[in-house]
A and B are shown apart, each in its own frame.
Chain A
Amino acid sequence: MARPIAIVLSILGLVASACGGSAQPSASPNGAPAAAASSATTAATAAARPGEVDAATLAKAKQEGKVVFYTSLQTDDADPLVKAFMNAYPDIKVQLNRKSSSKILTQFMTEAKAGKVLADVLETGGLDLAEPYGAGLLMTFEPPGAGDIPSEYKQLGGSFVGARLALSTFGWNTTQVRPGQEPKTWEDFLDPKWKGKILVEASDWDVMQGLAKNKWGGDEAKVRDYFTKLAANKPQLIDGHTEMLAALVAGQGALGWGLRGDTMQEQIDSKQIPGGWSKGEVMLRLQGAVISKDAPHPNAAKVFVNWYVSKAGGQKTLAEIGRFAAVPGMAKASYQGLGKTYVSGPEDAKDLPKYEKLWNELLAKK
């Protein structure tokens, strides 16, 4: 009995070694092995692109040969983005590491804390990126290709450029809310007719913060007034935006406060879910790419980030795959025609602890 077990274990050990990746994260778009780097790109073609990085940086980037890209983009979005970049810069291979925003940030911060920075580029929500910025882990880099990005999307003194947008808004279940009865404003959620029918994501204090800053000019009394009245309508707190949307679609509630409009739109487009969302008063949450101060491949990182924020580069690809690109006018029709918009980015993160406390006091009752 022992010998067969030993043989099995040996085989499994060999298989495990074969399955193990390198000491650095590695992958490729669509999971296929990465396309071999080609040395065929001409310097003249690369340098001729408008908004390109300078020739010296580009040359060093090609020598570096790869960029390690940490992102919270969904796999279905990250893969075409990476593929498009590698088509534009065949000499620079992308090693992709994809996780949810909190996890990719935790991994990045922990690796830095351990003294071994593995990521060149970190791409995730702006509010999350405030933490590595505050810890001095980011490089200052103003991409020459970011000319079409609105100035308010550029924050943290040149370390951050918002490249794509996520929407925080409110929505409803179209089988439970008759046409014409949909809420038009955030204040409509205070109407007693919605008592017990509202779903709220349990940790949406960043939406509270965005409304407080943009809608009420930071007046805490107004914030307290609004959320005390909202709490009186007995909203049900659901942990997780995915869960909240699923519960709303299933009919657990009629209205969803603070739900992700872009996620809902995706599901309306792909699955025809019975839902709708408001364009009247929307929070635009900046998502962007930053470069590690100690990036192993700093020049390749600059080329990648510059491409990502350029209108003809990453912004075009984002629009093609249906994401909300930061360059105005490029988003698909569903995202056009927004009313009032409030921008939320990394510079708002400093106020989050205050609003987390207020949220717990007024809504979560902690």
Chain B
Amino acid sequence: MTSQAVGMVASGGRTRRLPRPGRGTLAVLGLGLVLAYLAAYPRAMLILGTFGVDGEISKGFTLANFANAYGSERTFLLFQNSLVYAGGVGLLALTLGTGLAWIVERTNTPFRRAFFALSIVPIVIPGIVSTIAWIFLLSGRIGLVSKAISTVFGLSEAPFTIYSMPGMIWAEGLHLSPLVFLLMTAAFQSMDPSLEESAVMSGANTLQTVRKVTLPVLAPALASSALIMAIRGLESFEVPRLIGTPADIPVFTGEIYRALHGTSADYGEAGALSMTLMAVTLVGIVAYQRLISRSERFATVMGKAYRPRRIDIGRWRYATFGVLLLYVILLVGLPFLALVFVSLVPYYVPDLSLLEKASLANYTKTVGWYGVQRGVMNSLVLGVIAATLVTVLTAVVAWVITKTKLRGRGILDGLAFVPITIPGMVLGVALILQYLSPAFRVLPIYGTLWILVICYLIRYMPYGMRANSSAMVQLHRELEEASSAAGGSWLTTFRRVTVPLLRPALVASWLYIFIVSVRELGASVLLTNQDTIVLSVTIFEQYEVGQLGMVASLSVMLIVSLVVIVAVIQRMSSRFGVRQEA
């Protein structure tokens, strides 16, 4: 018998048999086809359009779109700015998110539990609103904080402004740090502390332990986070548009936005630009696959029992408490308060005396508006469905990639992750073309909530993949082998062993996708109508007509509601899975 049979793996000279999925394999392969179906059409449309005249391959083949996208004198500047921007965003988000996750999950810092729900506030706020809030805080001329600092120190102008590369990195990095926080808290929760205890017993201090044991073991989770941050830094457009344009700092995503919103939408040029994103994505996927190819190195959830333990950091816990407090006050509280201010006054000027005109008029109008009522209901339903479907689908796919030796499983990872490079508007256009085409028109999907479900599935698969993939790597094979040896089928093992142990990652993934699906705008704005309108489109409609007060009031209510929901879910999920020491 050779070791080429499915499920056979060589390790240290011994051949071990993984649980043989059997019918499960067929089901998994079927899911792979589902992935291909979901992602292939929009991606194919974008690629073909890239090589087509006027963005349409039916009009002829051309490379002119690449020439337009990359042939200008600014191309080098664009690449340079984009690398600095994406790198800075990634570094800030990773550092902040990982550090906060370590404090909350690994130390005995007081009040850390309350921090969890508050930490997601930056991702709750829609990108446009969040960016505007930071402009209203840190703009050199009109920022509340800038004005306060200038006044206190007697300066003619604040020493910093949001309209700069550091300002852009700040706004975007902060916005993305909760995602890293969610991913890393899940990873920390699944980490056996005996590794760190061994290091401490060998004489390492806390810093050395973190540097030489904790972080290397969590490399897959860090790599997943880094990959998402890199793509997001290259792909998000609110900050480049609202801060980069006035600051004259062009980056890639600003150019993609310009291509799609110029005199007429240039899908060819947008596609050519997005090829860079795709190339970065594929390189990142390959690098990630190599990293986890010896996944047993990163397995932290073993067959033997363990309790994730907190490190007693002594008096340093007051310093870490201070870090959490600073984060909450400055980075969560300030934008929130800026939104509260804008929601209460008739228009924004950086002058608190305007509060004399404060009223609840914006709230009254917002609550009574049909679009809001309908949008809230639709967004909640869509968010729950999308988050659940994405989490389930990507958990299964992640299992295939990390736990089997099926040929071509790396392709599944690529298929599931590549949609992150498709701009939202392009995805919306692709779905309209697909589901109104003669082949698909018979399906009653267009014009209903189901086209949005499909859209969100495609859009958020990449995030689910990264969360679940890095979490799967932490599970040692012996757990599943034990189940198989006891007679459990693949489905039984997956359901009763794998999923419960993945609980932290699944909850983190579900929460993140639920929140960002409520915020999704680029494709939703094309696919919704008056009956299927969602909250993000409602907010955007009011924003477009200058009703910043209503936008702010809606955002405030959204933040408060989602924080409560997240806190409840967190409380409920803590009843299952691995128990932790208090």
A interface, CB within 8 angstroms of B: 1-2, 5, 8-9, 12-13, 15-17, 19-28, 30-32, 74-75, 96-100, 102-103, 106-107, 110-111, 113-116, 131, 175, 202-203, 205, 236-240, 242-243, 245-247, 249-252, 263, 266-267, 271-274, 349, 352-353, 356, 365-366
Contact = CB atoms under 8 A, between A and B. Distances in A.
Contacts of B448: 17, 20-23
Interface of B: 72, 74, 132, 135-136, 139, 141-142, 241-242, 245-246, 248, 250, 258, 261-265, 346-350, 370-371, 373-374, 377-378, 381-382, 384-385, 388, 425, 428-429, 432-433, 436-438, 441, 444-450, 453, 495, 525-526, 529-532, 541, 543-546, 548, 576
A237 B248 contact: yes
Contacts of A24: 447
Contacts of B378: 19
A263 B546 CA distance: 8
B150 to A, nearest CB: 13
A356 B262 contact: yes
A353 B68 CA distance: 14
B432 A110 contact: yes
B245 A202 contact: yes
B433 A26 contact: no
B529 A239 contact: no
11 contacts: A17-B449, A23-B447, A25-B447, A27-B530, A31-B370, A31-B373, A74-B545, A239-B245, A245-B546, A246-B347, A263-B546
Contact of A22 (B373, B436, B447): B447
A242 B495 CA distance: 50
A267 B549 CA distance: 12
Contacts of B532: 19-21
Contacts of B264: 131
B381 A15 contact: yes
A146 B444 CA distance: 39
A366 B531 contact: no
B438 A115 contact: yes
Contacts of B576: 1
Given A116-B441, A251-B349, A252-B142, A107 B371 contact: no
A258 B433 CA distance: 36
A103 B525 CA distance: 7
A30 B368 CA distance: 11
Contacts of B258: 203
Contact of B346 (A1, A26, A113, A272): A272
Given A12-B385, A106-B429, A31 B371 contact: yes
B58 to A, nearest CB: 10
Contacts of B530: 21, 25-28, 31, 96-98
Nearest to B529: A25
B76 to A, nearest CB: 13
A300 B495 CA distance: 57
Contacts of A26: 447, 529-531
B261 A102 contact: yes
Contacts of B437: 114-115
Nearest to A243: B242
Nearest to A112: B436
Contact of B525 (A13, A99, A252): A99
A353 B263 contact: yes
A252 B139 contact: yes
A250 B381 contact: no
A9 B135 CA distance: 41
B148 to A, nearest CB: 15
B526 A106 contact: yes
Contacts of A267: 347, 546
B449 A19 contact: yes
A312 B137 CA distance: 49
B384 to A, nearest CB: 6
A106 B441 CA distance: 19
Contacts of A75: 371, 541
A242 B545 contact: yes
A114 B63 CA distance: 25
A233 B444 CA distance: 56
Q: Which of the listed residues A24, A239, A249 has the most CB atoms from chain B within 10 Å of its own CB?
A: A239
B450 A20 contact: yes
